[in-house]
């Protein structure tokens, strides 16, 4: 078969939506984790990054592989998924997450429809021209829903009783109107007349896993077709600081998203600090185990060199006053230190 000579990096997928729409639970279902259960008040308060390997994607799309053109020959190396909080006070984190993602999942609670932070998320995404797929979540709450997570969701919907179908249709039609009020055309992914004009909807239940295979398969198909140019790996460094953390027995560390390029132990990095640019050297590069979220896990692998796209924890001295949401630079030559310090001061 034809193989592209260009190497694709992991697509960065940002999950956005109103508080409690089920964003973290969708990721828990994909990763087979329990992050949501341990959140204070069930509310996400930070931005999270998870490296999801191909094996997980293969396993979770088994029943929907026919949706993927290159089903036996994936050209992406995995996904880097970014969870964001839906609570209204965290607009800065939603904005940050959407600033460096390639594709978003907009999660909408089928019972509640569009809510203020759904609309805010739509505005962020359309402003930045980020493509997105709508997960119409909590379908298990439809009247008399019969769960089935072993089939694609088109079939699972077809097999529901007439009364369940009617309930679905009613909620679905309401929500289509709400999207139309935002000037967006949306359609069920398997009825989408033109993906360039209509945003696709995948009905899901994060709780039972119904529709999750279809959602992931659609993401993979989009990444491996219309997004390949954007996803072509380049060695030009592109990285953003997401979190500053202390008390991990490591002193203060930073969590970053490496989008393109590579980082190595010993690299001289320049980042923004509260009292001016910080120049320090990478001591260790920690990558969470596959499917473990960077913000919560204690399980890491140490690496000498890491390529984008990847969520990474960096150990170095002098990180206490680091600022989030801003780029990380590497000075490969000494004279680049001043150049990047200046770059940071003029942001
Ligand atoms: P924030 O990050 O705080 O904005 O919320 P979230 O969008 O991440 O939602 P979360 O995953 O915290 O889920 C909120 C509540 O909805 C939890 O009690 C979940 O168990 C529940 N929930 C999520 N998905 C589903 C679903 O598909 N069906 C049902 N019945 N409940 C769900
Ligand atoms: Mg959450
Ligand atoms: Na929540």
Distance CA 261, CA 29 (A): 30
Mutate-to-test residue for ligand 1 from 168, 205, 206, highest number of ligand atoms within 8 A of CB: 206
Give the residue numbers marked as catalytic.
87
pLDDT band at 160 (very low <50, low <70, confident <90, very high): very high
Residue 137 Cβ < 6 Å to ligand 1: yes
Residue 121 Cβ < 6 Å to ligand 1: no
> How many whole angstroms from 107 Cα to the centroid of ligand 1?
10
- CB crowding 257-281: b at 16 or more within 10 Å, else e: bbbbbbbebebbbbbbbeeebbbbe
Can you tell me the mean pLDDT for 262-276? 98
- What are 27's two structure tokens? 């990721």
pLDDT band at 20 (very low <50, low <70, confident <90, very high): very high
Angle at 74 between CA 69 and CA 75, to 5 degrees: 110
Residue partners of 65: CB distance under 8 A and separation at least 6: 71, 217
CB atoms within 10 A of CB 225: 12
Q: Which ligand has an atom closest to residue 28 CA? A: 1
Window from 242-246, 266-270, 272-276 with minimum mean pLDDT: 242-246
Task: Answer whether residue 136 shows pLDDT above 90.
Answer: yes
Per-residue pLDDT, 91? 96
Distance CA 85, CA 105 (A): 13
Angle between helices 116-128 and 91-99 (to 10 degrees): 30
Closest CA to ligand 1's atom 24: 22
Per-residue pLDDT, 6? 78
Taking the CA of residue 27 as reference, the ligand 1 atom at the shortest distance is 11
Question: Per the confidence metrics, is the pTM higher than 0.90?
Answer: yes
CB atoms within 10 A of CB 151: 17
Residue 43 Cβ < 6 Å to ligand 1: yes
Per-residue pLDDT, 137? 99
Strand ranges inside 67-225, DSSP E: 78-83, 103-109, 132-137, 185-188, 198-203
DSSP at 228? H
Can you tell me the mean pLDDT for 214-221? 98
Torsion of CA 137, 208, 130, 219, to 10 degrees: -140
Residue 213 Cβ < 6 Å to ligand 1: no
Say if CB 81 and CB 49 are below 8 A apart. Answer: yes
> How many whole angstroms from 45 Cα to the centroid of ligand 1?
14
> How many whole angstroms from 43 Cα to the centroid of ligand 1?
9
Per-residue pLDDT, 1? 42
Distance CA 312, CA 35 (A): 18
Closest CA to ligand 1's atom 14: 20
Distance CA 154, CA 211 (A): 8
Mutate-to-test residue for ligand 1 from 14, 15, 17, 20, highest number of ligand atoms within 8 A of CB: 20
Per-residue pLDDT, 248? 61
Q: What's the mean pLDDT when you consider all of the chain?
A: 95
> How many whole angstroms from 266 Cα to the centroid of ligand 1?
41
Residue 93 Cβ < 6 Å to ligand 1: no
> How many whole angstroms from 169 Cα to the centroid of ligand 3?
26
Per-residue pLDDT, 72? 83
Per-residue pLDDT, 5? 61
Report the candidate in 90, 75, 73, 78 with the shortest Cα–Cα distance to residue 18. 90
Backbone angles phi, psi at 187, to 5 degrees: -155, 150
Residue 140 Cβ < 6 Å to ligand 1: yes
Torsion of CA 70, 75, 80, 84, to 10 degrees: -40
Distance CA 228, CA 230 (A): 5
Residue partners of 337: CB distance under 8 A and separation at least 6: 268, 270, 279, 331
């Amino acid at each position: 078969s034809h193989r592209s000579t260009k190497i694709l990096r992991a697509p960065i997928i940002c999950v956005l939506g109103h508080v409690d729409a089920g964003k973290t639970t969708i990721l828990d279902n994909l990763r087979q984790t329990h992050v949501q259960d341990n959140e204070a008040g069930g509310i996400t308060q930070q931005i999270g990054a998870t490296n999801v390997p191909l094996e997980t994607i293969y396993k979770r799309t088994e029943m929907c592989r026919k949706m993927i053109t290159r089903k036996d020959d994936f050209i992406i190396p995995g996904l880097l998924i970014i969870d964001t909080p839906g609570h209204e006070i965290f607009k800065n984190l939603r904005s940050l997450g959407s600033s460096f993602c390639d594709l978003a999942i907009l999660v909408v609670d089928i019972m509640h429809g569009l809510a203020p932070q759904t609309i805010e998320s739509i505005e962020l995404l359309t402003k930045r021209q980020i493509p997105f797929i709508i997960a119409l979540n909590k379908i298990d709450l439809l009247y008399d829903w019969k769960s089935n997570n072993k089939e694609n969701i088109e079939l699972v919907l077809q097999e529901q009783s007439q009364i369940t179908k009617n309930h679905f249709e009613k909620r679905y039609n309401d929500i289509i109107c709400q999207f139309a009020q935002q000037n967006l055309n949306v359609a069920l992914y398997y009825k989408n007349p033109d993906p360039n004009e209509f945003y696709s909807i995948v009905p899901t239940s994060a709780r039972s896993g119904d529709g999750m295979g279809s959602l992931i398969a659609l993401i993979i198909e989009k990444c491996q077709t219309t997004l390949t140019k954007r996803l072509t790996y380049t060695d030009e460094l592109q990285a953003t600081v997401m979190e500053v953390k202390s008390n991990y027995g490591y002193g203060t560390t930073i969590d970053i998203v490496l989008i393109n390029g590579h980082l190595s132990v010993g690299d001289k990095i320049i980042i923004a600090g509260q009292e001016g640019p910080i120049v320090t050297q990478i001591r260790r590069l920690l990558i969470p185990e596959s499917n473990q979220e960077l913000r919560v896990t204690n399980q890491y692998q140490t690496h000498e060199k890491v390529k984008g796209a990847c969520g990474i924890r960096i150990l170095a001295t002098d990180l206490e006053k680091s600022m989030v949401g801003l780029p990380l630079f590497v000075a490969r030559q000494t004279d680049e230190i001043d150049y990047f310090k200046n770059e940071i001061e003029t942001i």
